A and B are shown apart, each in its own frame.
Chain A
Amino acid sequence: MMDRIYYYFIRIVAVVLAIFFLIPVVWMLALSFTPEGENVFGNGFHLSFANYEKVLSQAPIFGWMGNSLMVSVITTALVLILSSMAAYAFSRITFPGSKFMFLLFLSGLMIPAEATLIPLYLFMRDLGLLGTRTSLILPAVAGPMGIFILKQFFDGLPKDLEEAARIDGAGFFKVWYSIFLPLSRPALAALGIFSFIGAWNDYVWPLISISDKAYMTITLGLPMFQSSYVQQYALPMTANALAAIPVLIVFLIFQKQIIKGIAFTGGKEL
């Protein structure tokens, strides 16, 4: 009896808390479908797309999203290819200096991006890349997180998997490509999703690197667009919704992998 009451009690508390967590996002969506100056609740759940039309005509939101998409996709692809290649070498091949290199990369995990903003800025300027989409991709690929996640995963794969292929004359490169990559789809998916969301949401480096409106990512363009609306909320909220909806959809589709991935990488492998 007590157990039942306790169970219903925590259920109710959890529902209330979940609602509190959802309110800001629901409020954002509700405001984006309500014409400026009208009451959200007085709207009678009639969806108005007027705000969306206005925002899209006033700011290059789709252009910014295109930049974000391009930067995030290329970053993710490069991270997956380069990290899995290096992780495979660290996991399966003995070569001189491999321990040292692995430790060197490991120490890279402790370097906060905020500490290298100035040298990166000057370096990119010297390379003539400052303000380009390339300048947003390169530093993100240099992050070593992927190597650790994937090396852990590769270490757990049984050795006899590749031995048959090696006896048949397949080189390490072929084994990586045709055996390890297909087998590690779950780990690659988790790493891919994190790289994508991380690149999509990055704020401080784009803020410093990009000044041309045409090359801005959505995270950077959004505040620029909104600073001109001091006392209006419908249009800024609509812009937020436009920026958030793709990520929210990706999240809802992959939420199981994302949540498992966090538990896996954050909880056990660090």
Chain B
Amino acid sequence: MTPSSHLDAAFSALADPTRRAILARLALGEASVMELAEPFSMSQPAVSKHLKVLEQAGLISRGRDAQRRPCRIEGRAFAEMEEWLENYRRFWEGQFRQLDALLDELKAAKKKARAATPGAKGKRK
């Protein structure tokens, strides 16, 4: 898998709320399918299906212990994805702060215009 298709698979894997919840649980420590199925009140096969998607996306790995096959969160894939989204967020947050400043200015101008023309609500200069 190329890094980008890897990342794409990761995003798809995370598009499902149950899978996000499973990852949140695994962030606290490894768990077996049985241990995961319980809090989600899902059948083990249903949980296994979700785990397969997460595993294919490189977000989790399964232990070798044939009995439990504990699931672990894969830090690297997760961090990569978080980083990408965080960079994206940071850029747009910067743009939107500029917009905040502009909106403050527009609001003030509107207020002023209203104050200057009593009775004429919301008239623009």
Answer yes or no: do A and B interact: no
Chain A residues with CB under 8 Å of chain B are none
Chain B residues with CB under 8 Å of chain A are none
